């Protein structure tokens, strides 16, 4: 092969790599987390991960780990009680009409996490909520995160009929489009019911799942994303079966349900055995 042909081949490969990471000629390049890379899920508090860890998920308020691929967690469809901006009191004070209300006028609350549910029932409300969250997405980019994990795609199941899965799809299409414009990859968080629409229609780049083995949902993510999904299992049975079924191809970890930081008495973190 002469030099001219070699250079053309290298250029062609470079174009393919950029296309794989960008998703369109008008969007900046974005990088997905390495498929099968060891994940650490640090929502309960940041700490130094083990050496083999390649991907770290942290809350948007935390500092990134400069040696790893960092994913920025934010609550896209519910409030967060521990934040001055983004907490339930903040939404009540500044954007009360963007919270789902029950028949008695009280805010609809996710009973497990005591978070208010954001009202994405109309295009106008979706646009206003996204306008608020655009700054959070920008902050993720400025803080050097490479990906975003928008949580609670299943909020429609707790919204008392205020909105449905289709409204969730429409909101997330706009959310993902904006994050891509910032050069950030975006994870589908749970919501196996989206099937292949999560990637094909909404544009999610990869998925992060919780207890997909325990809930018999892992096949849905594999169909949509191949090996580009990351499993967090909270039960021993789910973790061990996942390791046996797909460990080594898909990143699987075992965590305690409150994902507390290292050093806490309830801390649990396991990876699949190397021979799996």
Residues 99-136: pLDDT tens digits?
A: 999 999 999 999 999 999 999 999 999 999 999 999 99
Q: Is the pLDDT of residue 274 over 90?
A: no
Residue 21 — pLDDT band, cuts 50, 70, 90?
low
CA dist list (Å): 208 to 51, 111, 165, 202, 265: 21, 22, 18, 15, 25
Task: Characterize 197-210 residue by residue with b for buried, 16 or more Cβ atoms within 10 angstroms of its Cβ, and e for exposed.
Answer: ebbeebbbbbbbbb
Residue 23 pLDDT class (50, 70, 90 cuts): low
| Helix H or strand E encompassing 231 | strand 229-233
CATH code of the region 31-271: 3.20.20.70
Domain boundaries of the chain, sorted by first residue: 31-271
Say what the pLDDT of residue 6 is: 42
Using the predicted structure, report yes or no on whether residue 246 has a pLDDT greater than 70.
yes
Largest pairwise CA distance in the chain: 77
Query: What's the pLDDT score for residue 28?
Result: 94
Nearest in space to 153 (alpha carbons), one of 194, 125, 214: 194
């Amino acid at each position: 092969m002469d030099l001219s042909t070699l250079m053309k081949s290298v250029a062609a490969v470079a174009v393919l790599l950029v296309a794989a990471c960008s998703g369109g000629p008008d969007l900046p390049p974005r990088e997905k987390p390495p498929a099968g890379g060891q994940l650490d899920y640090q929502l309960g508090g940041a700490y130094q991960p083990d050496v083999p860890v390649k991907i770290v998920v942290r809350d948007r308020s935390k500092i990134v780990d400069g040696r790893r691929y960092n994913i920025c967690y934010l609550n896209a469809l519910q409030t967060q009680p521990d934040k001055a901006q983004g907490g339930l009191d903040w939404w009540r004070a500044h954007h009360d009409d963007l919270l789902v209300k029950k028949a008695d006028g009280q805010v609809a609350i996710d009973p497990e996490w005591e978070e208010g549910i954001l009202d994405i029932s109309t295009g106008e409300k979706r646009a206003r909520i996204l306008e608020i969250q655009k700054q959070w997405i920008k902050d993720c980019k400025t803080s050097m995160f490479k990906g975003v994990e928008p949580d609670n795609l299943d909020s429609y199941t707790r919204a008392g009929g205020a909105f449905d899965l289709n409204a969730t799809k429409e909101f997330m299409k706009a959310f993902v489009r904006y994050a891509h414009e910032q050069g950030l990859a975006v994870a589908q968080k749970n919501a196996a019911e989206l099937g292949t629409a999560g990637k094909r229609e909404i544009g999610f780049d990869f998925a992060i799942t919780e207890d997909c083995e325990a809930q018999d949902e892992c096949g849905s993510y594999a169909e949509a994303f191949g090996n580009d999904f990351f499993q967090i299992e909270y039960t021993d049975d789910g973790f061990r079966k996942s390791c046996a079924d797909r460990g080594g191809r898909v990143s699987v970890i075992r965590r305690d349900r409150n994902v507390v930081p290292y050093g806490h008495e309830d801390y649990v973190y396991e990876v699949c055995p190397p021979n799996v």
